[in-house]
Amino acid sequence: MATAIVRSAKNFRKLHQRFYFHTLLTKCRPPIPSPTIADNIQHRALPLIQQAIPFGIGFQSFVADQRFSSTSTTTGTVQSGHSKPNSEGGDKSGDSNQSKSDTGKPIRGGPISWLSFLLLALTGAGIIWYYDKEKKQHIEEINSASQAVKQGPSVGKAAIGGPFKLINHDGKNVTEKDFLGKWTVIYFGFTHCPDICPDELQKLAAAVDKIKENSGIDIVPAFISVDPERDTVEQVREYVKEFHPKLIGLTGSPDETRNVARAYRVYYMKTAEEDSDYLVDHSIVMYLMSPKMEFVKFFGKNNDVNSLADGIIKEIKQYKR
């Protein structure tokens, strides 16, 4: 009886040990891993992406990243001492072979390809070429317009000139009508002018003779005083004799002088007085008037005798056309 009890206890102890080891092995066995996200993307999603992106811009880098993630996961699982079923091993082997076959292929690392860079360069060159073309065309249009304005006839007449009433150096009353039918050049000044007026009147006298010699045109030179207080008829008569026999001297009252100066847009003003000796600031301009006593052109101080004579002849010829 005692022997039977001892044998039963040993059998129970062995059964208990077997059950314990079976439970321990069951707990230690790892679960079968499910397919990873990288495997699903690689085997299912990537063929669709390859169809949608035929040129593969940035695609190879994406595949390489996914394969690297998949390989790292598989390697970590193997190093931990666990194995996968045969079906997973087959997939792993296929992935390894595919990775090895893609190792020698070049991978494009960015979304910008040589084709897009070339298109960008061509577009920039086209824009620069178009801008230069439009700029040159605009400059040519401006030059053409300026030349047309210079060469074409004047649109209107300058508001210079008008009726006046003065006294000539012979003491006779004259108006603008006394100069009709003649080409006239008018200069404004005063007899006490120290240098500018004498220089300009000498230039005018020489130009009158030169015009007559070169073209046979008679010009009537006229001098109008802007100093009515000192330039009397006698003073003007003695003054104009010093320059040219055809030079006509004109003077008048302060109001008459003011009116004619306003009509011809002439500026004049007395400077500081020292007793009776003073100067008069005034415009230094010669006015070419047509036989109708209409303004044609003015000539400034910068003209010499030759340019003044040539300019007057040119204007007269153009006026007669």
In a domain, 71, yes or no: no
Which pLDDT value is given to residue 55?
Answer: 42
pLDDT at position 124: 85
The range of the structural domain enclosing residue 289 comes to: 165-320
Domain annotation covers residue 245: yes
Q: In this structure, is residue 136 part of a structural domain? A: no
The verdict on residue 76 lying in a domain is no
Q: State the burial class of residue 303 (Cβ atoms within 10 Å of its Cβ: 0-12, 13-18, 19+).
A: middle
**According to the model, what pLDDT value does residue 275 have?**
63
Let me know if residue 253 belongs to a domain: yes
Name the token pair of 46.
């990537």
Q: What is the pLDDT of residue 62?
A: 40
Annotated binding-site residue? 28: no
What is the spatial distance between Cα 153 and Cα 9, in angstroms, rounded to a whole number?
Answer: 140
Residue 160 covered by a domain: no
CATH of residue 212's domain is 3.40.30.10
Pair 223, 187: CB distance under 8 Å: yes
pLDDT at 142: 62
- What distance in Å separates the CA atoms of residue 208 and residue 135, rounded to the nearest whole number? 48
Interhelix angle 305-320/196-215, nearest 10 degrees: 50
Q: Distance (Å, rounded) from C-alpha 311 to C-alpha 92?
A: 102
166 burial (CB, 10 Å; 0-12 / 13-18 / 19+) is: buried
pLDDT tens digits, the chain, 321 residues: what are they? 555 555 655 665 665 566 555 555 555 455 555 555 445 444 444 444 444 444 444 444 444 444 444 444 444 443 444 444 344 444 444 444 444 445 545 555 555 688 887 888 888 888 888 878 887 776 776 666 545 444 444 445 678 999 999 999 999 999 999 999 999 999 999 999 999 999 999 999 999 999 999 999 999 999 999 999 999 999 999 999 999 999 999 999 999 999 999 999 999 998 876 666 789 999 999 999 999 999 999 999 999 999 999 999 999 999 886
DSSP characters over 156-193: S--S-----EEEETTS-EEEGGGGTTSEEEEEEE-TT-
Whether 147 is covered by a domain: the verdict is no
Q: How many domains does the chain have?
A: 1
Query: Does residue 32 lie within any of the structural domains?
Result: no
Alpha-carbon gap, residue 296 to 289, rounded angstroms: 6
pTM (two decimals): 0.53
